Amino acid sequence: MSWNAPTMKAAYIEKVGSVEQIIYGDLPKPKAAGANVLVLVKAVSVNPIDTYVRSGGVAMDLPMPFVLGCDVAGVVDAVGPEAKRFKVGDRVWGSNQGLMGRQGTFSQFAAIDEQWLYSIPDEVSFEDAAAIALVGITAHLGLFRDAQLKGGEKVFVHGGSGGVGSCVVQMARAAGALVLTTAGSDVKEQICKKLGATTVVNYRTGDVDDALTKFGKIDVWWENLREPNLERTISRMAMRGRIILMAGREAKPTIPIGPFYTRDMRLLGFAMFNAPADEQRKAAAEINRWMAKGRLRPQIDRVMKLSEAAEAHKLQEANTVQKKGLLAGKIVLVP
Ligand SMILES: NC(=O)c1ccc[n+]([C@@H]2O[C@H](COP(=O)([O-])OP(=O)(O)OC[C@H]3O[C@@H](n4cnc5c(N)ncnc54)[C@H](OP(=O)(O)O)[C@@H]3O)[C@@H](O)[C@H]2O)c1
């Protein structure tokens, strides 16, 4: 297909449901209207929420046909009449698409409001920019906007080699914190060490409680698991400890109130897609600074073709929802 053709390839659905609903085919090429920027897509990445939205597990108003995907990296192909931040040819990345009524990114072109786009530093590849997008912004919002992490504090990351966890480990270290994290295999243990974790414990073969005891009281507990055990967590927290909860919509854990409030703790929950554009841009700016200096890199498990979007959704679901441990980090798709 020529880039001037009125259609483009996309991975989309016509109704919510299983991965079988994913179609890879032609859709009309969008236009850069209003404050939108038309991005020639070079890479996208898969997030667990993509699978919840596609399956209908998370109910959202979806324009149909609905293009899958939140994250994107590419080149500005055209700018709308009200778009001021970018020009044709700029390399950009972004997230928060495919949500709240917006079209997704799994296509050759995506029309995106410029408020959700950021420049890609010269040193950073399209694949890395796409892979860091949603998970990087999530990690930054949780650690800095919400938990207000300070240098020298102790952070526990439950799941350090995953998409979000690998960013939390690196950002906490970049902020001067000490990090204990868990990994589900020897290979993932090595990955977490490379990411900079101070201590890593294999939760399948090692003793997480023993590692927590040796590491000392936790100032910030980052919970990636969808079934948190808050009795365990609260017993491990320091005075004024902050617990980040951002997964597990169906979870109903028991909360021991006494040890929680008498040690001045905070339970902090958030969904990154609720964060307004200025908060996301602040996170993106620091992500860019760290990426340009080589202090932050997304943990990419594999790169696949956009035409393999259904296979990628199957893998992501098996990894995150069925907890099969198949991935160490992100799946990137390239058109
Ligand atoms: N609220 C928000 O804004 C937001 C944003 C992004 C993601 N999320 C949610 O956050 C969760 C994580 O997302 P993700 O993209 O990082 O997913 P992911 O890449 O699949 O990572 C899942 C992590 O959980 C770990 N894990 C699984 N079972 C474990 C166990 N029994 N003990 C310790 N660790 C275990 C995995 O470790 P191993 O592979 O080593 O087993 C892996 O590190 C998902 O539920 C996602 O929907 C929420």
How is the chain split into domains, by residue range?
7-120+299-334, 135-272
CA of 83 to the centre of ligand 1 (A): 36
Measured by CA distance, the residue closest to atom 13 of ligand 1 is 164
| 319 Cβ inside 6 Å of ligand 1 | yes
Q: What is each CA distance from 44 to 73, 84, 131, 147, 228, in whole angstroms?
A: 6, 24, 7, 29, 30
What number is the average pLDDT over the span 180-191?
98
pLDDT above 60 (res 200): yes
Band (316; pLDDT cuts 50, 70, 90): very high
Q: Which of 106, 95, 103, 90 is nearest to 43 (CA)?
A: 106
Cβ atoms of 79 and 87 closer than 8 Å: yes
Structure-token match 């393999």, residue found: 308
CA of 229 to the centre of ligand 1 (A): 15
Q: Which atom of ligand 1 is nearest to the CA of 159?
A: 43
pLDDT above 80 (res 119): yes
Distance CA 197, CA 34 (A): 44
| 162 Cβ inside 6 Å of ligand 1 | yes
Q: What local confidence, expressed as pLDDT, does residue 5 receive?
A: 62
Band (2; pLDDT cuts 50, 70, 90): very low
* Secondary structure (H, E, C), the chain: CCCCCCEEEEEEECCCCCHHHCEEEEEECCCCCCCEEEEEEEEEECCHHHHHHHHCCCCCCCCCCEECCCCEEEEEEEECCCCCCCCCCCEEEECCCCCCCCCCCCECEEEEEHHHEEECCCCCCHHHHHHHHHHHHHHHHHHHHHCCCCCCCEEEEECCCCHHHHHHHHHHHHCCCEEEEEECCHHHHHHHHHHCCCEEEECCCCCHHHHHHHHCCEEEEEECCCCCCHHHHHHCEEEEEEEEECCCCCCCCCCCHHHHHCCCCEEEECCHHHCCHHHHHHHHHHHHHHHHCCCCCCCEEEEEEHHHHHHHHHHHHHHHCCCCCCCCCEEEEEC
CA of 255 to the centre of ligand 1 (A): 21
What number is the average pLDDT over the span 2-18?
87
**CATH architecture type of domain 135-272:** 3-Layer(aba) Sandwich (3.40)
- For domain 7-120+299-334, give its CATH number from 3.40.50.300, 3.30.530.20, 3.40.50.740, 3.90.180.10: 3.90.180.10
| 195 Cβ inside 6 Å of ligand 1 | no
CA of 3 to the centre of ligand 1 (A): 37
pLDDT above 70 (res 80): yes
pLDDT above 60 (res 3): no
pLDDT above 80 (res 288): yes
Measured by CA distance, the residue closest to atom 10 of ligand 1 is 247
Measured by CA distance, the residue closest to atom 47 of ligand 1 is 48
pLDDT tens readout for residues 132-156: 999 999 999 999 999 999 999 999 9
Q: What local confidence, expressed as pLDDT, does residue 1 receive?
A: 42
CA of 306 to the centre of ligand 1 (A): 23
Q: What is the mean pLDDT of the chain?
A: 97
Q: Which atom of ligand 1 is nearest to the CA of 327?
A: 39
Q: Out of 141, 164, 189, 267, give the residue to mutate to test ligand 1, the one with the largest number of ligand atoms within 8 Å of its CB.
A: 164
Q: What local confidence, expressed as pLDDT, does residue 237 receive?
A: 98
Kindly compute the dihedral angle of the four CA atoms of residues 272, 276, 282, 288, in this order, to the nearest 10 degrees. Answer: 60
pLDDT above 80 (res 4): no
pLDDT above 90 (res 28): yes
CA of 204 to the centre of ligand 1 (A): 15
pLDDT tens readout for residues 254-283: 999 999 999 999 999 999 999 999 999 999
| 48 Cβ inside 6 Å of ligand 1 | yes
CA of 320 to the centre of ligand 1 (A): 6
Q: Out of 132, 224, 330, give the residue to mutate to test ligand 1, the one with the largest number of ligand atoms within 8 Å of its CB.
A: 224
Q: What local confidence, expressed as pLDDT, does residue 236 receive?
A: 98
Distance CA 34, CA 78 (A): 12
Neighbours of 114 (CB within 10 A): 22
Kindly compute the dihedral angle of the four CA atoms of residues 206, 330, 19, 102, in this order, to the nearest 10 degrees. Answer: 130
pLDDT tens readout for residues 37-61: 999 999 999 999 999 999 999 999 9
What number is the average pLDDT over the span 230-252?
97
Instruction: Look up residue 211 and give its amino acid.
Output: A
What number is the average pLDDT over the span 83-87?
98
Q: State the greatest distance between any 2 C-alpha atoms of the chain, in Å, as a whole number.
A: 65
CA of 144 to the centre of ligand 1 (A): 19
pLDDT tens readout for residues 206-225: 999 999 999 999 999 999 99
Which residues, 6 or more positions from 292, have their beta carbon under 8 angstroms from its beta carbon?
A: 121, 122, 123, 124
Q: What is each CA distance from 324 to 10, 123, 327, in whole angstroms?
A: 28, 34, 8
pLDDT tens readout for residues 29-39: 999 999 999 99
What does the block give as tokens for 85? 């931040």
Burial class (CB in 10 A: 0-12, 13-18, 19+), 160: buried
Q: Which atom of ligand 1 is nearest to the CA of 248?
A: 45
